[in-house]
Amino acid sequence: MKTVLILSGGMDSATLAYEPDLGELLCLSFDYGQRHVRELQAAAAIAKERGAEHRIIRLEGFAEACPGSSLTDRSVAVPHGHYEAPTMKQTVVPSRNAIMLSAAFGIAVAHGADQIATAVHSGDHAIYPDCRPEFIAHLTGALNLGVWSDGVVIAAPYIGMSKTGIARRGAELGVPYALTYTCYEGGEKHCGLCGACQERKEAFRDAGVADPTEYAA
């Protein structure tokens, strides 16, 4: 089994990297002009700790050509508050997962991999349309129509799981969460106020798992 894993540097994909049945891992992270590179540094640290190959795919010019999201457009403030708040839609980067999964698919075919693994989860569904089960299913079909290979699966094992469930699973697997980075602000410490930080805090608390994160607030 060979798996191409989309590794963001956050706790969800880090947990998935430690799942024992993925086989040989090729970890991909994407530099799409996001607000900061802390998550890319975290991804590299996680891949190194896991003993997996890690590559950064650079999408030069993407952020400049795709304004309006607080993750790619510095003129848009990062909203604070819970993930369920309507303002969290300001963090949507249009078709980001579609672009990443499509790139990962081509790389998987080139490397003879059996599957792509993505750590999208149920908490993403309300805000991010390209994290929903029907999207993953349709994209898998479309991408496989465009190649001569025997078929590559897009595995999304956490798609029905909450972030709290992922934190519990990570504790079972011994995931080094201190290496992960989640905050949208990109500071030395997690801001503690953005939606990503709020969800991270909530997941560790509700899972009863020690949170190694330093928060500014």
| Residues pairing with 55 in the sheet | 28
Judged against a pLDDT cut of 80, whether residue 79 lies above it is answered with yes
Q: How far is CA 17 from CA 26, 35, 69, 121, 173, in A?
A: 10, 24, 28, 15, 10
Residue 66, Cβ neighbours under 10 Å: how many?
19
When comparing pLDDT for 169 and 63, which is higher? 169
**Average pLDDT over all residues of the chain:** 93
Judged against a pLDDT cut of 90, whether residue 130 lies above it is answered with no
Q: Given the structure tokens 């994909």, which residue do they identify?
A: 13
pLDDT, tens only, 149-194: 778 999 999 999 999 999 999 999 999 999 999 999 999 999 999 9
Q: Show the domains of the chain with their CATH numbers.
A: 2-207 (3.40.50.620)
Residue 64, Cβ neighbours under 10 Å: how many?
10
pTM of the model as a whole: 0.94
114 alpha carbon, distance to own chain's centre: 20
